[in-house]
Structure 1
Amino acid sequence: MMSLSLIIKREFNAKVRNKSFIVMTFLSPLLFVAMGVIIGYLASLNNSDLVKVAIHDKGSLLKADLKNDDHRKFIDLSAMPLDAAKKTASEEEYEGIIYVPQVDSLSKLSTDVEFISNESPSLELVEDIESVINDKVTKSNLKTLGFDYDKIEKAKADAKVHLSKFSGEETVKEAAYIKMAVGGLAGYFIMMFVIIYGNLVMRSVIEEKTNRIIEIIVSSVKPFRLMMGKIIGTSLAGILQFAIWALLGTVLIVVLSTLLDVQMGGAAGAVQAAPAASDNVATVLLVELLKLPLLTIVLSFVVYFIGGFFLYSSFYAAIGAAVDSETDSQQFLLPIILPLMLAVYVGFFTVINDPHGTVATVFSMIPLTSPIVMLMRIPFGVPLWQLVLSISLLFATFFGVVWFAAKIYRIGILMYGKKPTYKEIFKWLKY
């Protein structure tokens, strides 16, 4: 065991004393914040552009209903022949031209209006035009049937359902967005951690094998202990990095809570009442964030990171031992990355829509996908038995996989000059 602890210490120190590790540990959160700010800024720039749209409506059926605003201006070219209007719209680089034919019945507008442009228009613009047409045709149809459209509009109700849990705790619709964001980020971070740190394990094995250092090391250390030392040491470096990020995140939440005057402590009533009493979106979102089982999420992240990393790093270590260079490893990496990609797709397209559905539940139990899928489910609430079962299956699978990986590792680290195939690697499992 002394040799194992020395290997763990060596791998851990090699990772955390690396300048890139130190820089990225503190720079990564800033990069994420900067990326969010840049995306928001670019989105605001996109919304600030004035879009010019021509309209050719000789019958004046729609042009009065198409209103200008800060981002869109409609230019009437109805006085021109249609071909001339098209040419003008193209030369002036308008978004396009709306052609409204002269019809004998307004109901035909729902099928006869045409948008002509050089390139595909934005979906938002098309939907807005369709909305104007729908309102116009609906009013006409109701009038034909003898109904007063204005009275119908006044009679419409604006229902708002109050959300609460069986425990009596009130919540708001925005809570779903917070849960989606937290779950999505947790799952994404797990995937990135597994890929990044798994590659570090593989590179370390390939480097030692290429430099023939491995021959000296295995003369005094069993290959299994060497592999486990690399996996555990690297995982501890990852946990340290995550712990620093969690600490920085906690400080940020405390600062935001202080600035927005949100109570984090035992004033549950104040926290529950805040969404109803406040119109400040940031405050509402922060309150809902504080309602999440943050401790459970953080602890689950650590557990699933350890389990998921141990599981996948066993594959990475085995691949590193089997090949002589990173180039040779590419053919073996795809089967490892595919389950991670599948888990992300299931998370974003299934878990977020139905976190307690059959697909989400099943994939949160499968060890190769559970570190990502289960983390995405936890903010929505997961029964304790499912969490325990998922973790148990994950670590049980790890012990099985590491046994097979150790067989490949034991033989592969001393193999040189031969590119292994899947068939060759399966033979090693029999030794």
Structure 2
Amino acid sequence: MNKLKLIIRREFIAKVRNKSFIIMTFLSPLIMVAMFALVAFLMKKNDEKIKEIVYVDSSGLFTKKDFKDTKTIKYQDFTKLGLEATKKKVEAGNYYGVLYFPKQDSLEVLAKSIEFYSKESPGLNTIENIESNVNNRLRHIKMNLLGINIEKINASRIRSNIKMFNFSGEQSSKLINGLKIGVGTIAGYLLMMFVIIYGNSVMRSVIEEKTSRIIEVIVSSVKPFQLMLGKIIGNASAGLLQFFIWGVLLLILYGVGVSVLGLNASEIPSAEHIAVAQQAAKPDQIHTIIQEILKLPLVSLFFLFVFYFIGGFMLYSSLYAAVGAAVDNETDTQQFMMPIIMPLMLAMYVGAFTVINDPHGPISVIFSYIPFTSPIVMLMRVPFGVSWWEIAISMSLLFLTFLAVVWIAAKIYRVGILMYGKKPTYKDLWKWIRYSG
């Protein structure tokens, strides 16, 4: 046990004293803030650019009121000028493009013969805005031809607002469900990035010691199992410390931005902020939203996040360490990386396409039990409420699998760390696992 503590301490100190670790620990939050600020600035600048679209209507069916101007798109009527003259004027001027409606015998033919000319390829939002205006006008004309009363159709439209409750009578909201999705997704993504970054760190550490032959001296006094476990725990501790520092620095930078620079995160347009604004416009729902936020199992979420964060990292790091022991350089690791990365990617895809739509469905439940995917999938499910026995099963399987993987990885480790000059294959790894000497 004392040797294990020494190894953990050695790995931790070696990691945190590394110049690149220190620089990135304090520089990464600044880079992240700068990136968000740059994105917000570019989005703001993009919104300031107004696209003036002119239209030439030879069909006689459209007027200026049929085109709704937006913050970034404005419409002008150049019908009297004619198509060719309009195209020359637009091409020589600052207008964005020309929308042309030819004269046709039927609406169906007209709908398929509308033309748009521009100096550059239009973006998706621009085309959708044009098509939306055109389709609305053509639809109204078609309804009039069919004798349908448009006023009655518009008057018949009604929007429902379904209130959600559980069987204990507690009310929920769509905003809270979105918040739960966001919390679970961020937690799963952070875990995946943590595993990839610090798993590779464990692997490189093993390769460096193996190629420098230091490992031959170390294993003479320490069991390979202890050495591998010490490396995993030491690197995990350094990584968690770095994440903690990042969190503190980001909070400090946010506070400075709000109080000193006058920055406001709500100015950054996003679906979440739009949803919050829509909910805030309804005073009767504000109290419900606050209650739901406070009712989220924040303490449970934190401890489960820590458990699965550490458990998932330990599980995958043992695989990374085994790969590092089996090869002589990072180039040779590529053949073994895919089986390690695939479960992580699978977990993210399951979370993104299955857990979000049905967090308690059979696929979500099964993958939250499988140890190689449970750290991510279960973290995504927890905000929606998971039974204690499901969490107990998932935790037990993760812990038992970790012990089994460490045992298997240790067998590869004790043989691989002393192998030089040979590129191992999966067949070689199987032999090392079965080796009992």
Same fold (TM over 0.5): yes
Secondary structure class of the residue paired with 2:79: coil
Conserved? CA contact 1:16–1:237, under 8 Å: yes
Gap change, CA 1:305 and 1:233, over 3 Å in 2: same
Secondary structure class of the residue paired with 2:434: coil
Q: Which residue of 2 is the match for residue 366 of structure 1?
A: 370
Unaligned runs of 5+ in 1: 261-274
Q: Which residue of 1 is the match for residue 124 of structure 2?
A: 123
Deviations along 1:266-307, one digit per CA (max 9) or x if unpaired, are xxxxxxxxx678669999987755442222222112111221
Per the normalisation by structure 2, the TM-score is: 0.84
Deviations along 1:8-30, one digit per CA (max 9) or x if unpaired, are 11112222333443444454444
Name which of structure 1's ranges 289-298 and 379-388 shifts more when overlaid on structure 2.
Answer: 289-298
Task: Give the Cα–Cα distance (whole angstroms) in 1 for the partners of residues 290 and 17 of structure 2.
Answer: 36
Q: Which residue of 1 is the match for residue 58 of structure 2?
A: 58
- How far did residue 139 of structure 1 move? 2.2
Gap change, CA 1:281 and 1:240, over 3 Å in 2: farther
Gap change, CA 1:95 and 1:179, over 3 Å in 2: farther
Match runs of 1:322-337 below 5 Å: 322-337=326-341
Gap change, CA 1:72 and 1:34, over 3 Å in 2: same
1:405 matched to 2:406? The reply is no
Unaligned runs of 5+ in 2: 258-263, 265-278
Q: Which residue of 1 is the match for residue 379 of structure 2?
A: 375
Task: Give the Cα–Cα distance (whole angstroms) in 2 for the partners of residues 85 and 357 of structure 1.
Answer: 58
Q: Which residue of 2 is the match for residue 338 of structure 1?
A: 342
Secondary structure class of the residue paired with 1:324: coil
Conserved? CA contact 1:197–1:234, under 8 Å: yes
Match runs of 1:38-187 below 5 Å: 38-64=38-64, 65-92=66-93, 94-106=95-107, 108-117=109-118, 120-187=121-188
1:428 matched to 2:395? The reply is no
- How far did residue 249 of structure 1 move? 7.7
- How far did residue 89 of structure 1 move? 4.1
Q: Which residue of 2 is the match for residue 14 of structure 1?
A: 14
Q: Which residue of 1 is the match for residue 354 of structure 2?
A: 350
Match runs of 1:164-313 below 5 Å: 164-244=165-245, 289-313=293-317
Q: How many residues align?
A: 416
- How far did residue 317 of structure 1 move? 0.6
Q: Which residue of 1 is the match for residue 423 of structure 2?
A: 419
- How far did residue 197 of structure 1 move? 1.0
- How far did residue 319 of structure 1 move? 0.9
Per the normalisation by structure 1, the TM-score is: 0.85
- How far did residue 356 of structure 1 move? 2.1
Gap change, CA 1:220 and 1:22, over 3 Å in 2: same
Name which of structure 1's ranges 180-189 and 232-241 shifts more when overlaid on structure 2.
Answer: 232-241
- How far did residue 202 of structure 1 move? 0.8
Deviations along 1:90-127, one digit per CA (max 9) or x if unpaired, are 45475443221213444554444333446543222222
Secondary structure class of the residue paired with 2:403: helix
Conserved? CA contact 1:307–1:394, under 8 Å: yes
- How far did residue 142 of structure 1 move? 3.0
Conserved? CA contact 1:178–1:288, under 8 Å: no
Q: Which residue of 1 is the match for residue 270 of structure 2?
A: none
> What root-mean-square deviation, in Å, do the aligned CA atoms of Structure 1 and Structure 2 show?
3.3
Conserved? CA contact 1:55–1:63, under 8 Å: no
Deviations along 1:177-230, one digit per CA (max 9) or x if unpaired, are 222221111111101111111111111111111111111111111111111111
